[in-house]
């Protein structure tokens, strides 16, 4: 990476946000956090992160609603989004991709390998060059 990628972690569980934040920072990423979809949308519009890790099940606005809103907004529609959830059935995965997700991470996940996983997935779907300017 020639610049530090900024990752927005949107999850209502504080311990998950903190674990992802810690491990992503240790792997060279910049990280910002939001505790739900409403706050996530505000931060995404303001900071324009390179990637959003978005929990599916959250209060106020769930991940699918948040993803819909991100894809409808001209300022956030092109930001890669990885759904991060315990909902791992094929139907759930398909629904996430249908709404516009770029990747899918099922919980539980090895947070120690999250940075490598993100870079591999972004490269595989052809989005790494778009974010690693």
Is 98 a domain residue? yes
pLDDT of 91 higher than 60: yes
Express each pLDDT in 63-78 by its tens digit: 999 999 999 999 999 9
Is 107 a domain residue? yes
Is 133 a domain residue? no
Is 1 a domain residue? no
**How confident is residue 97, by pLDDT bands cut at 50, 70 and 90?**
confident
DSSP annotation of 127: -
Is 132 a domain residue? no
Contacts of residue 88, Cβ cutoff 8 Å, sequence gap at least 6: 106
- In the chain, % helix, strand, coil (3-state, to 5) comes to 45, 20, 35
pLDDT at site 42: 97
Q: What average pLDDT does the chain have?
A: 84
**CATH code of the domain in which 53 resides:** 3.40.50.2300
What is the extent of the structural domain holding 89?
6-127
Express each pLDDT in 98-123 by its tens digit: 788 888 887 777 777 777 878 787 77
Tokens (6 digits) for 103: 């990747």
Residue scoring higher pLDDT (30 or 87): 30
CA angle, residues 109, 113, 116, in degrees to nearest 5: 125
pLDDT of 46 higher than 50: yes
pTM given for the model: 0.85
Q: Are 102 and 125 in contact (CB under 8 A)?
A: yes
Number of structural domains, the chain?
Answer: 1
């Amino acid at each position: 990476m020639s610049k530090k990628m900024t990752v927005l972690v949107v999850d209502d569980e504080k311990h998950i946000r903190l674990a992802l934040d810690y491990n992503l920072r240790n792997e060279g990423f910049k990280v910002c956090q939001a505790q739900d979809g409403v706050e996530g949308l505000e931060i995404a519009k303001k900071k324009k992160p390179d990637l959003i890790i978005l929990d599916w099940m959250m209060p106020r606005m769930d991940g699918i609603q948040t993803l819909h809103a991100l894809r409808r907004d001209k300022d956030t529609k092109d930001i890669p989004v990885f759904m991060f959830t315990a909902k791992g059935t094929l139907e759930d995965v398909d629904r996430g991709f249908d709404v516009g997700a770029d990747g899918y991470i099922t919980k539980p996940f090895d947070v120690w390998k999250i940075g490598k996983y993100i870079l591999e997935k972004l490269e595989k779907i052809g989005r790494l060059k778009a974010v690693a300017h």
